Chains A and B, each alone.
Chain A
Amino acid sequence: MSNSITTKTLDNGLTIILEEMSDLKSVAYSLMIPTGYIYDGNDKIGASILLTELTSRGAGNRDTKALSNAFDDLGVRHSEGAGQYYTTYRGSLLSENITEALALVADMVQRPKLPEAEIDNVRSLMLQDIQSMYDNPSRRVMTELGKLYYPDPFGRSSLGEVDGIKNTKLSDLKQIFDTRYSPNGAILSIAGNINAKAVLASAENLFGSWKGERIEIPAFGKWPERKMHHIGTDSSQLQIAVAYPSVKFGEDQYYVARVTAGLFSGGMFGRLFIEVREKRGLCYSVYLSHSASGLSGANVVYAGTTTERAQETLDVIFDELGRLKGTVSDEELARSKANIKSSLVMSEESSGSRAVSNSIDWWWLKRIRTLDEIQGAIESVTTNDIDKYLEDFPVGMPMIVTLGSKSLEFKGA
């Protein structure tokens, strides 16, 4: 049985979504604002990330320390971050404090102090974070894959770029804030042990007078040619990252893509795990995930292995990707479905999962999918659907990035 959900779109374009979960003591909120790092100028990549971080350095009548203490005094575990398409303000706490917590968020997104004195500190943290990414081979290879696979600005690093972060000035941040921190198209999703009516009234009060224009998402440019890239480093393992096209979030074949990803990489039974790790012991970590937004979809594969076994790993991965069509048994299909179904039901137990999932549904679909609807769609996927999907989205020539001390050869799927 699903919980009761209320939605309301205010005059300023902000949609508020509330889900009552009476068995819990917690509540979670997720505010999505329609701005992200794809909107940053080419010479200021990372400006949005810097701005979001700076909004937590004092807002309303509180300076940076007072704001941080106010969150802590309410017991809010919170995070703020600029993503690709949207910027999020999220938190979890005990439900009795939700109104006070939302008031702090309202200050951050409408009345941040944006203190000039703190910019260099935030900049330093961001630049160090980039250095740490370079120190973590698996994180680095996935970052490089994104940049190579997607047309700019859609593959940008979620950490920004060194030059962009250094170039960004307070005036740039103020301009982004004035033009892009807008309620028009924003979503505030709250789930947990709440009285929806009362929380809705508080939220309207806190966010109702927020004003701003609607921002249009830029169009996708020409997709880069897919080929192999190698980045030379001195690490113990060789990292392999692969991407090739798949369906978007919300498209007809979306659930077929999810079930298919499960066949490759669900639990411990996915074909990649079985063939690469269990039968050959080639890797500790290997997976395929279906990464989709409402605008694009891709299958992303990762494996990390010692250099001398990397070529075999790559070959086995592509053998498996190419072999699936026409070979999926009913049992195998049932396993993938069972796995997705149980994740779905378990996510219904967590206020954090519900708040985030509702906000993402609304963002791309302008409605909330019900558990029954998703379960029904998963249940109805057949092996024919999977074969059709594999035909429509073949591996072909994927984008492949390797990182380590030796380059590899791609022999086809």
Chain B
Amino acid sequence: MKKVYQHTLPNGLKLIGECIPSAKSASIGYFVKTGSRDETAKEAGISHFLEHMMFKGTASRSALDIAFELGSLGAKSNAYTSEEATVYYGAVLPEYFAELQSLLSDMLRPALDSKEFDLEKKVILEEIALYEDRPHIYLFMQAFDEYFGSHPAGNNVLGSTASVSAITRDEMKNYFDRRYSPSNMVLVAAGNFNWDVFVSDAEKLCGHWQRFETSRNTDPYQGVQIKKTYTKKDINQSHVLLVAPGPSDQDDLRYPLGIYANIVGDSTGSRIYWELVDSGLAESADADCDGKDGTGCVLAYACTEPERLDQVTEILKRVLRESTDITQEELDRAKTKILTRMVLGGELSMGRMRALGHEWLIRERIHNLEEEIEKVKAISLTDIKSAQEQYPFDNWSEFRLIPE
């Protein structure tokens, strides 16, 4: 049977573990509460750039040592950065778990070598160029920047070619010293591993990390209503993104509104799907809540042919505005979809690790799948109606991307 444990080291590093003895692998991840929203304008892109630098050498390992060691462990390892968090993780066969823990822990104290820094900057600039060539990603990045204005929740994860080019190694060191306190992260393990050994190894590997104060601007954001159209050369399809205020990651209204968004905007079988995708009007269309730390938004997106963009946008808005007549049948169906996804997602150790890590970063709680399932099950039509009254899904900002 699975069992969940937690422990906090004296320097504030939180440890959480879910032991699943029947698992054939074990996953481990460092979840750091830092992302693009914690950057100054001058630092735009630095969280993501630093994430790359964690693989580029420590006091005792070169970049190649890290790459080769991950290879020798057969580790399925990677990292990602969002507006809210930076995560370093890996999965291995149980016999390599301790070695992976040791390696990842060393990586979290990077050398930030100048030569590696200059080289990796080129890779980041390539990554920015790559996403500039992907129309829908390009639109999302532009739109968030515009919608959130000076509020940090909309800061672009990649930064711009100009901002990344200007970042120096010392600025990155300062950012690291400001954000990577052990008290600002959680180390999570899930799968087939030994909790006691994990804790004692963490003490040895991370116990000496210096703790310092960290903070984050979590001011609420009321949203704005703006309309903007971007153009891009050499594209065929058009895209529209609507953004409106939504529940934050701490707001319990995220449960009823999440279900509501599923009924109205899931990528299949939702009201938007039947109106826009099943009918062939839009290639894809969906709506969802996008909760953030202290604030949040609702997003609705569609991709279609340029000549149908007006029509598709109008239908999208109409469905979102007029869906006040949710039926019990729709509610039950949405719950089944959501609950099945939750159970299937929790089946692999990687899925449990992610749920535990993000839950702690966002709400400082231990993720309990059974409790979450009960919360979803308990939502009634009345709950949805009153949540909808608070977030009526109608004060849209509208962003479009069309061929030049």
Contacts and interface: CB of A to CB of B under 8 A. Distances in A.
Contacts of B72: 331, 334-335, 338
B226 interface: no
Nearest to A235: B133
A122 B343 contact: no
Nearest to B343: A25
Contacts of A76: 340
B68 A269 contact: yes
Contacts of B197: none
Contacts of A171: none
A93 interface: yes
A25 B347 contact: yes
A274 B74 CA distance: 17
Contact of A283 (B126, B337, B339): B126
Given A233-B234, A284-B130, A346 B24 contact: yes
B63 interface: yes
Contacts of B305: 128, 131
Contacts of A274: 64, 67
A343 B71 CA distance: 12
B307 to A, nearest CB: 12
Interface in B57-73: 63-64, 66-68, 70-73
Interface string B339-355: 11101100111000000
Contacts of A336: 71
A267 to B, nearest CB: 5
Contacts of A120: 280
Contacts of B235: 135
A75 B336 contact: yes
Contact of A235 (B23, B123, B234): B234
B303 A132 contact: yes
Given A131-B305, A284-B126, A345 B333 contact: no
B130 A237 contact: yes
Given A26-B344, A122-B280, A278-B67, A69 B233 contact: no
A391 interface: no
B283 A128 contact: yes
A131 B73 contact: no
A134 interface: yes
B119 interface: yes
Contact of B283 (A125, A266, A280, A350): A125
A132 B136 CA distance: 10
Nearest to A64: B278
A343 B76 contact: yes
A343 B92 CA distance: 9
B129 A237 contact: yes
B129 A65 contact: no
Nearest to B273: A68
B271 to A, nearest CB: 11
A349 interface: yes
B122 interface: yes
Contacts, number: 181
Given A128-B237, A131-B236, A235-B133, A75 B71 contact: no
B135 interface: yes
Given A72-B336, A74-B336, A283-B126, A234 B234 contact: yes
Interface in B63-122: 63-64, 66-68, 70-77, 91-93, 119-122
A384 interface: no
A336 B68 CA distance: 10
Contacts of A279: 119
B25 A346 contact: yes
A253 interface: no
Nearest to A270: B71
A94 interface: yes
Contacts of A282: 122, 126
A67 B77 CA distance: 39
A179 interface: no
A137 interface: yes
A23 to B, nearest CB: 4
B133 A137 contact: yes
Interface string A258-286: 00000000111100011001111111110
B25 A349 contact: yes
A77 B24 contact: no
A50 B278 CA distance: 14
A189 interface: no
B316 interface: no
A3 B349 CA distance: 19
Contact of B237 (A135, A233, A341): A135
B279 interface: yes
A269 B337 contact: no
B274 interface: yes
Residue among A73, A77, A267 having the largest count of chain B Cβ atoms under 10 Å: A267
Given A135-B235, A137-B133, A339 B71 contact: yes
Interface in A334-392: 334-336, 338-343, 345-346, 348-350
A77 B341 contact: yes
A44 interface: no
B126 A237 contact: yes
A338 B303 CA distance: 42
A305 B125 CA distance: 10
A269 B67 contact: yes
Contact of A342 (B66, B93, B348, B349): B93
B136 to A, nearest CB: 9
Given A68-B269, A135-B135, A338-B73, 5 more contacts: A94-B344, A266-B71, A267-B70, A336-B71, A342-B91
Interface of B: 22-25, 55, 63-64, 66-68, 70-77, 91-93, 119-127, 129-130, 132-135, 233-237, 268-269, 274, 277-283, 303-305, 332-333, 336-337, 339-341, 343-344, 347-349
> Top 10 nearest A-B pairs by Cβ distance?
A75-B340, A342-B74, A281-B122, A124-B280, A121-B280, A269-B71, A128-B283, A335-B71, A338-B74, A131-B236
28 contacts: A64-B278, A65-B274, A72-B268, A72-B336, A74-B336, A77-B341, A93-B344, A123-B280, A128-B237, A131-B236, A138-B130, A233-B234, A234-B234, A268-B55, A268-B67, A268-B71, A269-B70, A281-B121, A281-B126, A282-B122, A282-B126, A284-B130, A334-B72, A341-B74, A343-B74, A346-B91, A349-B24, A349-B25
